[in-house]
A = this chain, B = another copy of it.
Amino acid sequence: MKSLFSCVFFLATLTLRAQDGHSLWLQNKASKSVTVICTKKSPTLSIAIRELKDGWQGKADASCTLSIKKDKTIKSDGFKLSENAVEANTDKGILYGAYELLRRQQLQEAITGEVENPSYEIRILNHWDNPDGSVERGYAGNSIFWRSNDALVVTEQDKKLWQEYARANASVGINGTVLNNVNASPLILSADYLNRVKAIAEVLRPYGIKVYLSVKFSSPALLGKLKTSDPLDAEVIAWWKNKVKEIYSIIPDFGGLLVKASSEGQPGPQDFGRTHADGANMLADALKPYGGIVMWRAFVYSPNDKDRAKQAYNEFMPLDGKFSDNVIIQVKNGPIDFQPREPFSALFGAMKKTSVMPEFQITQEYLGHSIHLVFLSPMWEECLQSDTYQQGEGSTVARCTDGSIYNQTYTAIAGVANIGLDANWCGNDFAQANWYAFGRLAWNVNFKSAQIADEWLKLTFYNATSNETSATSYATEWTSNFLSPVKQMMLDSREAAVNYMTPLGLHHIMAANEHYGPQPWWAPEGTRADWTPPYYHRASKDGIGFNRTTTGSDAVGQYHEPLASQLNDPKTCPENLLLWFHHLPWNYNMKDGRILWDELCYRYDSGVQQVRSFQKTWDKAQSYVDSVRFKSVQQNLRLQCRNAILWKDACLLYFQRFSQLPIPYDIERPVHDLDDIIKNDRRNY
């Protein structure tokens, strides 16, 4: 029997057309005929009409009406759906409604006539793309926007790709994109580059997507040849005003500027004795006449502070109320830097007179690049639903940033993109789900990860035509054999990564440069301490963890009560953040009765076991996936498993030098030698 099944198994695979993943969640489905009625004309509406005609899966020979109204229940990009109609206040609203209608049809979900309004007004991608075409922390090939300084000419191929990019973003509600790295080159503001930005904006515009740029704060000096870039200097102010004017002359709907200032070596207002507010407001003034905004990043830290986790708060809180209303402070989800698990940044729910927006990282800088299968939606959901207690219980990060608690002039959310020239856009077919999920959560902060994974899997992998003899029974089989287990794998995947990388609140113990693989020992002499893992894990014979309680750095004091007290006590601090906030002895008693060292061992081991279970899940799904995507994901999972084992071995063997305790004997033994790992570094992967 087994062998018979196996033969069927392999044959079934052959019938699925090989795919390179380029079509994302926008698979071509057989459409039914529809008449689309729309009295108004615009490029955006034309797209909506074409999409409906190409993808209609409602009743055959139906007619669908698109209506622009002034409905007060509908906000900004929102819409109202019924089975055969989309209503909105804007063309963009119609387009989003059309995509939602098609999604509901494909997912065979009910359409009940409700209004859908987005949670955030600005739902924006940050591309860390450099003018030379490289992508900082990009793992999916070179930039889709930039090639090299000498190749700024726009080709038809460029436009086709940008259009596909725009369509994918529009289909999940993303309406803005920052085209270049926050570690910005001043060149981006030169005429040649702005011309290419103009071309990109023209392709993106009908899809409702505004373009933004990252700027280097010292551009006036570097590009404008001024003597200073002091934000209070009249010439500097004039230079920026002119530059902004130039931009809007060629891109009338330009979105605004993103600034990484006084951070990790980037210039900023503090170089001239000015504050973040001075710098941000100067730019905001230049942008204001055109409706542009400034997104000013709060990712700042200096080498000598006793706790890097506290610095953004310390620098920005005193400036609360000093920022112009078209400035938004862009805050990473956690206080350090996109680690597999962090508590939410205390800046969320802290400032009361300043607009704040979350910055998530879609590209997997610290989460296994595009090799590890890690569905990030649960991580973002965890952050958005974290309670800051700013105005009592229920003051979630989401509500502190989406305008529910404070009436921000602008609400926004940013995601650092994971997109490159790779055929499948994201390097790993499952990394596409993170792009998708970011869009969906930006649209509705209350979406659940399980629902998002469900949608994405159906849109991306379901192909009824692979078995035409009995579509219904195939759908049932597909749901139980593919959808359910693969969805569970996605939902478990982030916790697995936390387990094999940084369980129990550990953080920043990764390899120094690539941020891939473990290097908890890395601390070359002369390196600034807050760039080295031992600064964060503080392992010693006495114990492990960073004391951020009132007896330590008092980072807990940046949080509102009752959270601060809860975090301050190891007995009430969530165990998954224990070593973030506490330095505890190796024999500290965990809630399950184990000592801390043993618990750490079991967590690392469970991460490895989880990845192994993912491999089984995927291998069992083989007959439901085309061979190209199947093999690609399978290969990545194999490497992920080896990586997980290496993480476990490296961290446990390293920490064991301090704990002096054996790894519990029911756990699979290390297969690497610590000295070898340290010596070989990346060659072990």
Please state if A668 and B635 are interface contacts (CB–CB under 8 Å).
no
Q: Within 8 Å of chain B (Cβ to Cβ): is A642?
A: yes
Interface residue from B2, B586, B641, B665 paired with A595 (Cβ < 8 Å): B2
Q: Within 8 Å of chain B (Cβ to Cβ): is A513?
A: no
Please state if A669 and B615 are interface contacts (CB–CB under 8 Å).
yes
- Collect the chain B residues with CB atoms within 8 Å of residue A594's CB: 2
Please state if A638 and B9 are interface contacts (CB–CB under 8 Å).
no
Please state if A619 and B662 are interface contacts (CB–CB under 8 Å).
yes
Of A24-32, A74-82, A356-364, A670-678, the segment with at least 4 beta carbons within 8 Å of chain B is A670-678
- Collect the chain B residues with CB atoms within 8 Å of residue A10's CB: 660-662
Q: Within 8 Å of chain B (Cβ to Cβ): is A3?
A: yes
CB distance from A643 to the nearest CB of B (A): 10
Please state if B6 and A670 are interface contacts (CB–CB under 8 Å).
no
- Give the CA-CA distance A481 to B635 in the complex, in Å: 41
- Collect the chain B residues with CB atoms within 8 Å of residue A444's CB: none
Task: Mark A630-661 against chain B: 1 for CB-CB distance below 8 A, else 0.
Answer: 00000101110110010000000000000011
- Collect the chain B residues with CB atoms within 8 Å of residue A673's CB: 635, 638-639
Q: How many identical chains are in the complex?
A: 2
- Collect the chain B residues with CB atoms within 8 Å of residue A597's CB: 3
Q: Within 8 Å of chain B (Cβ to Cβ): is A306?
A: no
Q: Within 8 Å of chain B (Cβ to Cβ): is A105?
A: no
Closest to A10 in B: B660
Q: Within 8 Å of chain B (Cβ to Cβ): is A394?
A: no
- Collect the chain B residues with CB atoms within 8 Å of residue A663's CB: 619
Given contacts A10-B660, A660-B10, contact A638 B670 (CB under 8 A): yes
- Give the CA-CA distance A568 to B479 in the complex, in Å: 49
Closest to A3 in B: B587
Please state if A661 and B620 are interface contacts (CB–CB under 8 Å).
no
Q: Within 8 Å of chain B (Cβ to Cβ): is A291?
A: no
- Collect the chain B residues with CB atoms within 8 Å of residue A620's CB: 665
Task: Mark A577-611 against chain B: 1 for CB-CB distance below 8 A, else 0.
Answer: 00000000011000000110110000000000000
Q: Within 8 Å of chain B (Cβ to Cβ): is A43?
A: no
Q: Within 8 Å of chain B (Cβ to Cβ): is A562?
A: no
Q: Within 8 Å of chain B (Cβ to Cβ): is A198?
A: no
Closest to A666 in B: B616
- Give the CA-CA distance A445 to B238 in the complex, in Å: 99
- Collect the chain B residues with CB atoms within 8 Å of residue A641's CB: 669, 671
- Give the CA-CA distance A619 to B637 in the complex, in Å: 29
Please state if A612 and B669 are interface contacts (CB–CB under 8 Å).
yes
- Collect the chain B residues with CB atoms within 8 Å of residue A661's CB: 3, 6-7, 10
Closest to A676 in B: B635
Closest to A614 in B: B669
Q: Within 8 Å of chain B (Cβ to Cβ): is A664?
A: yes
- Give the CA-CA distance A668 to B637 in the complex, in Å: 12
Task: Mark A443-485 against chain B: 1 for CB-CB distance below 8 A, else 0.
Answer: 0000000000000000000000000000000000000000000
Which of A2, A615, A669 has its CB near the most chain B CB atoms (within 10 A)?
Answer: A669
- Collect the chain B residues with CB atoms within 8 Å of residue A65's CB: none
- Give the CA-CA distance A616 to B665 in the complex, in Å: 6
Q: Within 8 Å of chain B (Cβ to Cβ): is A622?
A: yes
- Give the CA-CA distance A18 to B598 in the complex, in Å: 28
- Give the CA-CA distance A616 to B620 in the complex, in Å: 30
Please state if B662 and A642 are interface contacts (CB–CB under 8 Å).
no
Please state if B669 and A619 are interface contacts (CB–CB under 8 Å).
yes
Closest to A683 in B: B683
Closest to A598 in B: B2
Within 8 A of B (CB), among A1-58: 2-3, 6-7, 9-10
Task: Mark A480-494 against chain B: 1 for CB-CB distance below 8 A, else 0.
Answer: 000000000000000
CB distance from A525 to the nearest CB of B (A): 27
CB distance from A52 to the nearest CB of B (A): 42
- Give the CA-CA distance A22 to B341 in the complex, in Å: 50
CB distance from A5 to the nearest CB of B (A): 9
- Collect the chain B residues with CB atoms within 8 Å of residue A587's CB: 3
Given contacts A2-B595, A669-B612, A671-B641, contact A9 B619 (CB under 8 A): no
- Collect the chain B residues with CB atoms within 8 Å of residue A586's CB: 3
Closest to A649 in B: B638
Closest to A4 in B: B587
- Collect the chain B residues with CB atoms within 8 Å of residue A662's CB: 6, 9-10, 619, 622
- Give the CA-CA distance A626 to B620 in the complex, in Å: 46
- Give the CA-CA distance A670 to B641 in the complex, in Å: 9
- Give the CA-CA distance A461 to B510 in the complex, in Å: 40
- Collect the chain B residues with CB atoms within 8 Å of residue A670's CB: 638
Closest to A1 in B: B595
CB distance from A585 to the nearest CB of B (A): 10
- Give the CA-CA distance A637 to B587 in the complex, in Å: 29
Which of A641, A663, A664, A671 has its CB near the most chain B CB atoms (within 10 A)?
Answer: A671
CB distance from A540 to the nearest CB of B (A): 16
- Give the CA-CA distance A598 to B660 in the complex, in Å: 42
- Collect the chain B residues with CB atoms within 8 Å of residue A638's CB: 669-673
- Collect the chain B residues with CB atoms within 8 Å of residue A665's CB: 616, 619-620
- Collect the chain B residues with CB atoms within 8 Å of residue A598's CB: 2-3
Closest to A588 in B: B3
- Give the CA-CA distance A434 to B670 in the complex, in Å: 26
- Collect the chain B residues with CB atoms within 8 Å of residue A645's CB: 671
- Collect the chain B residues with CB atoms within 8 Å of residue A6's CB: 661-662
Closest to A597 in B: B3
- Give the CA-CA distance A428 to B376 in the complex, in Å: 46
A-B contact pairs, 9 of them (CB 8 A): A3-B595, A9-B662, A615-B668, A615-B669, A619-B669, A620-B665, A638-B669, A638-B670, A639-B673
What would 17 more interface pairs be, CB under 8 Å, given A638-B672, A638-B673? A2-B594, A2-B598, A2-B664, A3-B587, A10-B662, A615-B668, A615-B669, A615-B671, A616-B669, A619-B665, A619-B669, A622-B662, A637-B669, A638-B671, A639-B671, A639-B673, A645-B671
Complex A-B, nearest 6 residue pairs according to Cβ-Cβ distance, in ascending order: A615-B669, A3-B587, A6-B661, A641-B671, A638-B671, A642-B671
